[in-house]
Amino acid sequence: MAHISASVYTSHVPAIGAALDLGKTAEPYWQPVFKGYEYSKQWLQDNPPDVVFLVYNDHATAFSLDIIPTFAIGTAAQFQPADEGWGPRPVPLVHGHPELASHIAHSVIQQDFDLTIVNKMDVDHGLTVPLSLMCGQPQAWPCPVIPFAVNVVQYPVPSGRRCFELGRAIRNAINTFDQDLNVQIWGTGGMSHQLQGPRAGLINKDFDNAFLDHLVNDPEAAVNIPHIDYVREAGSEGIELVMWLIARGAMEDVAKRAPGVAQPQLNLRHRFYHVPASNTAVGHMILENPGR
């Protein structure tokens, strides 16, 4: 059977992709950002997944205002890196996993989450920047990736609670797939940032670090944060953090179990925080499920 071995959380700032693509990683401005991912790149090589389930948001790339799905799962065999207006990033084609993606879609819809199934879409920096941060600049990405796009562009976006419960449903779905696949789930976006208006540039280190603390030790506290708190405390685009809760909800320690059955402990492998990358606070964490 397939299983989730670990969850990875990271910001997906477009300027990080540009810094990599333009060879600026050694510049003093960018060096501390990439240093924070050195451990993670080695960790990924040491713990190679068969598939990455990557939760991100589309930034008016594949989805215009014609169609705005709240949750969209990519079931295609491949996904082209998008031209977001600067020309496409020079990164490898993203290969999907149509069998597992279709299985997850079927199972999760039966668990009352109405996913939109997408057989054709380009993927933007929301998906490719996390891959670049974790994999560097390979000729091909190390494994298939299932894109899972969440609407965080047009308000109201899904609540933290709904995202967390969706994560639980995704775990159930993966655990019932017949092939023996090692799956990682990645939650991306955030942390505090605001890209618009006279309030652009807002950063809230206290909020971000409390969020990271909660994510490790008390995910329920993060789940209960209402939208308006993200907007006031972490900026209008900080609301992307609800996507991290999908990945967190898929972890073993929060699975619904019979009363009296002990919950396993997760292993915190890495935690990193840095301000700024362009307009944004960069947060990153790796949480592993206990070994099987």
Partner 1 sequence: MALDKPYLDVPGTTIFDAEQSRRGYWLNQFCMSLMKADNRERFKANERAYLNEWDMTEEQKDAVIARDLNWCIRTGGNIYFLAKIGATDGKSFQQMAGSMTGMTEEEYRNMMVAGGRSANGNRVVGEDGDAQAHRQPQGRAGQNAKA
Q: CA-CA distance, 16 to 67, in Å (whole number)?
A: 28
Q: Nearest approach, Cβ of 61 to partner 1 (angstroms)?
A: 7
Q: What are phi and psi of 291, to 5 degrees?
A: -60, 155
106 binds partner 1 (CB under 8 A): no
Q: CA-CA distance, 123 to 79, in Å (whole number)?
A: 6
Task: Kindly indicate which of the ranges 2-10, 60-68, 101-109, 172-180 contains the residues binding partner 1, using the contact rule CB under 8 A.
Answer: 60-68
Distance of CA 47 to the CA centre of its chain: 18
Task: Kindly indicate which of the ranges 37-45, 101-109, 163-171, 188-196 contains the residues binding partner 1, using the contact rule CB under 8 A.
Answer: 188-196
Between residues 68 and 109, which has the closer beta carbon with respect to partner 1?
Answer: 68
Q: Pick from 2, 19, 15, 9: which is nearest to 104 by CA?
A: 2
| Cis preceding linkage at 121, omega within 30 | no
Q: Nearest approach, Cβ of 289 to partner 1 (angstroms)?
A: 34
Q: Are 164 and 249 in contact (CB under 8 A)?
A: yes
* DSSP secondary structure letter of residue 193: B
Between residues 5 and 192, which has the closer beta carbon with respect to partner 1?
Answer: 192
Q: Are 5 and 171 in contact (CB under 8 A)?
A: no
Residue of the chain from 50, 84, 99, 253 that contacts partner 1 (CB under 8 A): 84
Binding pattern for the stretch 122-161 against partner 1, x by CB under 8 A and - elsewhere: -------------------------------xxxx-----
Per DSSP, the three-state class of 285 is: strand
Residue of the chain from 128, 184, 188, 204 that contacts partner 1 (CB under 8 A): 204
Residues that bind partner 1 (CB under 8 A): 14-15, 18, 29, 59-61, 64-66, 82-87, 153-156, 192, 194-205, 207, 227-228, 231-233, 236-237, 275-276, 278-279, 281
